Amino acid sequence: MNELSEKIVNQKFALVFEQLRKEGKVKSKSDIAAQLGTYNHVINSVLKGERGLTVEQINKIVDTYGVNSNYLFGASKEMFGVDIKPLPGISNLEKMEEERNNITLVPYKASAGYAMTGGTQEFMNDFMKFRIPGLDGQLIAFEISGDSMLPHITNGDLVICEALERNELPRDNGVYVVVTDNVVAKRIRRVKDRNNGELVGFELISDNNVYHPYTVEIEEVRQILKVKTRLTGHGLA
């Protein structure tokens, strides 16, 4: 997590904790720790700014106490519920909400469906949307399962991605999400025909030597998304 983002989330969590205690929804640090599936000393460290909340803990805060996720990331002044502001019409309200929550989260269990549908709008409408200050544009967050990209991406991380344009090629050794019959996060290296130099596929490389590189042909690739950042158990990285 970068220093600014971690500071924002910790500060907002401290305010949420105090408000929940005032309203009698929690009585102590141990109380909220139990709800978040952790320990009293962990909550104490978060409140002191010594560590960050995990993605799972943030989701539990939102689901259990009705906290506005945008508030935790410093993107809203509304601590609970959703942002509602008086606007001329419902269409403007919907447009504002859509622009604000520009990151769509695809859980790991839904990644096969994403590969099958190509991430159609109809498919994506079922998933949670959120926003992180400083990350603009229409982005997609994928939940990572497995350890092939250790130590840089770990099991349970969210990688926040931007889809490449149709004619845009990935850079060699960059980290991308590649969609074929499944969805994987890998380093990419272009594979060219030795005779004519034409691009024929991509070598997908893990960040550790436990998993061997493998090649996918151009025809197999349905979409490539550039990993812009990742949301780890300790925040943005």
- The structural domains of the chain, ordered by start, are 3-72 (1.10.260.40), 140-236 (2.10.109.10)
Rounded Cα gap, residues 177 and 200, in angstroms:
18
Half-sphere exposure of residue 74: CA atoms within 13 angstroms, side-chain side: 12
Residue-wise pLDDT tens digits, 33-45: 999 999 999 999 8
Cβ atoms of 205 and 27 closer than 8 Å: no
Q: What's 195's DSSP letter? A: T
Residue-wise pLDDT tens digits, 182-194: 999 999 999 999 9
Rounded Cα gap, residues 85 and 91, in angstroms:
13
Q: Would strands 214-217 and 223-232 be described as parallel, antiparallel, or unpaired?
A: unpaired
Cβ atoms of 221 and 163 closer than 8 Å: no
Does this model's pTM top 0.85? My answer is: no
Tokens of 34: 């139990």
Rounded Cα gap, residues 30 and 39, in angstroms:
7
Over residues 18-38, the mean pLDDT reads 92
**Helix ranges restricted to H, 150-236:** none
Where is average pLDDT lowest: 53-57, 58-62, 90-94, 128-132? Answer: 90-94
Q: What's 219's DSSP letter? A: G
Task: Tell me: pLDDT of 120 over 80.
Answer: yes
**14, 83, 162, 190, 213 from 225: Cα distances, Å:** 35, 30, 5, 15, 19
Q: Please provide residue 15's backbone torsions phi and psi, each rounded to the nearest 5 degrees.
A: -70, -40
